[in-house]
Chain A
Amino acid sequence: MKHGKYPLLAAFLLPALGLYGYFVISPYAQAFVISATDWHGLSNEFNWVGLDNFKRLLSDEYMRNALWHNALLLILLPVITIVLALFFSSMLNVHRAKGAGLYKIIYFAPQVLSVAVIGVLWKEIYNPRSGLLNGTLRALGLDGLAKTWLGDPAVAFWAILAVMVWANVGFYVVLFGAAMQSIPKELYEAAELDGSSRWATLWRITLPLLWDTVQVAWVYLAILALDGFALVQIMTRGGPNFSTDVVGQRMYDVAFSENKFGMASAIGVVLFFLTLTITVAALRITRRERIEFS
């Protein structure tokens, strides 16, 4: 059995690796090459411009503005989503709140919708005149809280952040829920006997034992925060007045509306290194001892 193992492995692996290399790695690699040109994406003509595109990006205020929004997302999206997801899933799994099954479905529902549907749906909910949100606020007599939402630069970014959290929290409720199931019940029983509060149980028992999963969630959400393109493109296209612009939207505009594929690739390369750096950093910072349940 031992000999002949490698040809068999290769037969299974190589086609997949080949496809991956051709359709995933090769475009990535080409983006690096294109980022050093002024290619317009309409002919085979281009000039080598070295690092010019990157130099331009450094002094581009729209790029800086977009980066700032991604940075805000990078901090806020994981924190808010993880805190909410931990709270919800500990309510559902540890404390067994009434109607837990129904809540699970409600939290997870956005997960089965595509991003495009979520974007269009929320655009209507945020409609300042006939939208659900302002309608509810007005019905409750809270007219003062009714806003133009996506039309107000002071609010639009937060409105989109809220949608991102809404769309993602369900997945982490389930993820954390699954991890919580594997925490031995005796630990909770012991904590209860000692008179530990719900908060203390979450903070001192659940969270430390979930750390591995939280870490993964953190990395996923950080990558998501660096993107954010789809929702922004559907809901605001970066407006009003660039208040919701993100790097992905910049890249899209530069590539498809200005036809500067060289510059757009440079933005892509910057985004690639940012994602890589942040992933590595997130993993280092959150690294802890692993706890084995035996």
Chain B
Amino acid sequence: MTAQEIRRRTVLGTAAAATLAPAGLLAGCAMGSDDGKPKEEGQANAKNPLGVKEDAALEIVIFNGGFGEEYAKSHEVMYKENFPKAEIKHSAVTEISKTMQPRFIDGNPPDVINNSGAGQIDPGTLVSQNQLADLADLLNAPSLDQPGKTVRQTLLPGAVETGTFDGKTFILNYAYTVYGIWYSSKLFTDKGWQYPKTWDEHIALCKTIKAAGIAPWTYQGLHPRYMSWPVISTAIKFGGQQVAMNIDNLEPNAWTSDAMKQAASAWHQIVKDGYILPGSPGLDHKQSQTEWCNGKAAFISCGSWLENEQKAVTPAGFNMVVAPTPSLGSGDKLPFAAIRGTAGEPFVVPAKAANERGGKEYLRTMLSLKGAKDFTGKVSSLTIVAGAADGISLGSGLDSCVKALKDSGDKGFNWIYPVYYRKLERNLVDAACGEFFSGRIGPDEFLTKCQKGADEIAADTTFKKYKRSA
């Protein structure tokens, strides 16, 4: 092809674009038209507290990721036991946003969506655009198989907060995730090491580990936000729950508070003293976690999906376990055992779903003890239903999560800003962590950089802001 031809094409293309613009709009607009479907509704009674129409079809869309889709099929069977006349349409996709977005725009979404994975629809936007049904009636309905309790009363502490926006719960996060510091209990037993409970012990142990020829730490270098978790956890344990609340509410100087400063300068020590596996900043999550599984590093920060994610490369007898971050000192407001536990794996019922009541009833089925036990057994993950993991044998990692949660009791903590403002964690805090943990900036600059990100979000009127008070 010659240059002349290219030029002709470009010019033609532009001219056509200009003249066809109005026609294109008429032809089919991406922005949707205004028509919804009528709602399917039935009579409420004791057996059917949400008033589901018995023969209304139910459409479920599952994210086909780490948990697969088999667990959902058994939940669907359980739903069908109660509503035999209902026809259930099940589908499993990996790109939720790309497949579901057009249906939201059309006003024709399915009844339940498992809005999860890297391709999830930004939850904050779904809420701010009024696309989700309020789940209050579900949470206040009686539990399916725990008589005398409402659904809300059967859940673990902190189960609904991550899905609650300005006091209303729109997202049901079904799986319970524990975030902490992971190590191989086999390695520690072999070497006679004790997991450190205080910061001084931690640094002393790092020295011993390094002397033994192992790097004390590695981290998910290309996704450095994983390291923001231990830093914020340390700060919350030092300064109390208010630290997290201020960050979530985008309070001025929330990131540069005294607690955050103490935590950041403590964590700076593992960078300064060379306790991080060389090359870590250039590894992605799988690569760094694999180095850790291969015994090249002793500690890594992660959530409880780690065991499942690393299944294929974990050596037999590795025995990974989770532990809380070490306490800064005796002045800490929360005890050493306090750990970050949070509900993840979001399920939503779209506000425009035709069978909205059926969708909520499906969630009620998932939240029954039977449904939750089935999930835990099938995918080796905890759920937000209290006691659902009892009597089920899990891997060493999950067993340690159950134990850590028990020890943590009501001192557990969490933060929600990544749900409110995905960009703040995924882009801005992430970038600051990368600079900090590769040693290019110090703790003060690190916090200033995080604060700058938070201030940018606070000043940007295109983000809807949320506040929480508990």
A interface residues, Cβ below 8 angstroms from B: 21-22, 25-30, 32-34, 37-46, 56, 123, 126-130, 134, 147-153, 212, 215-216, 219, 236-242, 253, 256-260, 263, 276, 279-280, 283, 286-287
Contact B27 A151 (CB under 8 A): no
Task: Check if A148 sits within 8 Å of B281, measured CB to CB.
Answer: yes
Q: Is B24 an interface residue (CB 8 A)?
A: yes
Chain A residues near B40: list those with CB within 8 A.
Answer: none
Decide if B222 touches A240 in the complex (CB within 8 Å). yes
Q: Is the CB of B32 within 8 A of A43?
A: yes
A21-B16, A258-B122 known; A43 vs B131 contact (CB < 8 Å): yes
Task: Give me 15 other A-B pairs in contact (C-beta within 8 A), A28-B24, A29-B25, A42-B104 excluded.
Answer: A21-B20, A22-B27, A22-B28, A26-B20, A26-B23, A32-B21, A40-B129, A42-B121, A42-B125, A44-B32, A127-B283, A127-B287, A128-B282, A239-B434, A258-B423
A38 and B462 contact, CB distance less than 8 A: yes
| Bound-state Cα–Cα, A253 to B29, Å | 23
Chain B nearest CB: distance from A23 CB in Å? 10
User: CB-CB < 8 A to A216: which residues of B?
Assistant: 1-3, 6
Tell me the complex Cα distance, A45–B3, Å.
Answer: 44
In the assembled complex, 23 residue pairs joining A and B whose CB atoms fall closer than 8 Å, in A order, are A25-B13, A29-B24, A30-B24, A30-B25, A42-B121, A44-B33, A44-B107, A126-B282, A127-B283, A129-B279, A150-B222, A151-B222, A153-B435, A153-B440, A216-B2, A216-B6, A238-B427, A239-B222, A239-B430, A240-B281, A241-B432, A258-B125, A258-B423
Residues of chain B lying within 8 A (CB to CB) of residue A151? 221-222, 279-283, 434, 438
Contact: B105 with A276, CB < 8 Å? Answer: no
Minimum CB–CB distance from B432 to chain A (whole Å) comes to 8
Chain A residues with Cβ under 8 A from B13's Cβ? Answer: 25
| Candidates A127, A212, A238, A241; contact of B282 at CB < 8 Å | A127
Q: How far is the CB of B148 from chain A (nearest CB, A)?
A: 39
CB pair B221 A148 closer than 8 Å? yes
Q: Output the least CB separation between B114 and chain A (Å).
A: 17
Contact residues, B73-111 vs A (CB, 8 A): 97, 101, 104-105, 107
Interface residues of B in 435-458 (CB under 8 A from A): 435, 438, 440
- Give 9 nearest A-B pairs by CB, closest first: A151-B282, A26-B24, A128-B279, A151-B281, A148-B282, A44-B32, A259-B125, A29-B21, A128-B282
Say yes or no: A25 contacts B2, CB within 8 Å.
Answer: no
Known A42-B125, A129-B283, A283-B3: A25·B20 in contact at CB below 8 Å: yes
| CB neighbors of A among B152-171 (8 A) | none
CB of B419 within 8 A of chain A?
Answer: no
Which of A40, A149, A212, A239 has most chain B Cβ within 10 Å? A40
**Proximity string of chain B (1-43) to chain A, C-beta cutoff 8 Å, 1 when within and 0 when not:** 1110011001001101100110111011111111000000000
- Say how far A262's CB is from chain B's closest CB, in angstroms: 9
Contact flags (1/0) for B129-143 with A, using CB distance below 8 Å?
111000000000000
Cβ B279 vs Cβ A148 within 8 A: yes
A42 and B29 contact, CB distance less than 8 A: no
Residues in A with CB closer than 8 Å to B283 are 127-129, 151
CB-nearest residue of chain B relative to A33?
A: B25
Pick the residue among A25, A32, A147 that contacts B16 (CB under 8 A).
A25
Q: Which residue of B lies closest to A129 (CB)?
A: B279
In the complex, what's the smallest C-beta–C-beta distance from A154 to chain B, in angstroms?
A: 9
Chain A residues near B296 (CB-CB < 8 A): 129
Find out whether the CB atom of B101 lies under 8 angstroms from the CB atom of A41.
Answer: yes
Instruction: Tell me, yes or no, whether B149 is within 8 Å of chain A by CB.
Output: no
Q: Is B291 an interface residue (CB 8 A)?
A: yes
* Distance, CA A44 to CA B106, complexed state (A): 7
Cβ of B345: which chain A residues have Cβ within 8 Å of it?
A: none
The one of B14, B23, B105, B282 in contact with A152, judged by C-beta atoms closer than 8 angstroms, is B282
Chain B residues within an 8 Å CB radius of A44:
31-34, 105, 107
Please report the C-alpha to C-alpha distance between residue A30 and residue B25 in the assembled complex, in whole angstroms: 6
Residues of A within 8 A of B291 (CB): 129
On whether the beta carbons of A150 and B422 are closer than 8 Å, the reply is: no
Q: Contacts A148-B281, A212-B3, A216-B2; is A34 near B30 (CB within 8 Å)?
A: yes
| B129 contacts A43, C-beta separation under 8 Å | yes
Q: Are B3 and A215 in contact (CB under 8 A)?
A: yes
**Residues in B340-365 with C-beta less than 8 Å from chain A:** none
Q: CB-CB < 8 A to A147: which residues of B?
A: 282
Complex Cα distance, B222 from A287, in Å, reads 44
Q: Which residues of B contact A37 (CB under 8 A)?
A: 31
Residues of B within 8 A of A128 (CB): 278-283
Q: Which residues of B contact A236 (CB under 8 A)?
A: 222
With most chain A CB atoms within 10 A of its CB, the pick from B97, B282, B283 is B282
Contact B434 A240 (CB under 8 A): yes
B224 touches A (CB below 8 Å): yes
CB-CB under 8 A from B17, the residues of chain A are: 25, 28-29
For B14, what are the chain A residues with a Cβ–Cβ distance below 8 Å? 276
Answer yes or no: B126 CB below 8 A from chain A CBs: yes
Complex CA gap A124/B126 in Å reads: 36
* Residue among A41, A45, A148 making CB contact with B438, cutoff 8 Å: A148
Q: Are B281 and A152 in contact (CB under 8 A)?
A: yes
Residue in A21, A33, A123, A258 whose beta carbon sits within 8 Å of that of B23 in the complex: A21
Minimum distance in angstroms from A162 CB to a CB of chain B? 15
- What is the CA–CA distance of A147 and B283 in the complex, to the nearest angstrom? 12
CB distance from B445 to the nearest CB of A (A): 12
Contact of B422 among A32, A40, A153, A258 (CB under 8 A): A258
Contacting A241 at CB < 8 Å: which of B3, B21, B434?
Answer: B434
Q: Give A240 to B222 CA distance when docked, in angstroms.
A: 7
B69 contacts chain A at the CB level, 8 A cutoff: no
Closest to B2 in A: A212
Known: A34-B31, A43-B129. A123 touches B284 (CB 8 A): yes
Chain B 368-388 per-residue mask, 1 if CB under 8 angstroms from chain A, else 0: 000000000000000000000
Residues in B neighbouring A29, C-beta threshold 8 A: 17, 20-21, 24-25
Q: A-facing mask of B312-341, CB < 8 A → 1, else 0?
A: 000000000000000000000000000000
In the assembled complex, the CB of A96 is this many whole angstroms from the nearest CB of chain B, namely: 28
Q: How far is the CB of B34 from chain A (nearest CB, A)?
A: 6
Across-interface contacts of B21 in A (CB, < 8 A): 29, 32-33
Q: Is B403 an interface residue (CB 8 A)?
A: no
Select A42's contact among B126, B438, B440, beta carbons within 8 Å: B126
Q: How far is the CB of B436 from chain A (nearest CB, A)?
A: 10
Structural contact, A42 and B222, CB atoms closer than 8 A: no
The interface residues of chain B lying within 8 Å CB-to-CB of A123 are 284
Interface digits, B209-222 against A, CB 8 Å rule (1 contact, 0 not)?
00000000000011
Residues of A within 8 A of B468 (CB): none
User: How far is A26 from B17 in the complex, measured between Cα atoms in Å?
Assistant: 8
Cβ of B406 under 8 Å from chain A: no
B224: A residues at CB distance < 8 A: 240
Most buried by B among A26, A34, A212, A263: A26
Q: Known: A123-B284, A128-B282. Is A241-B1 also a contact (CB below 8 A)?
A: no
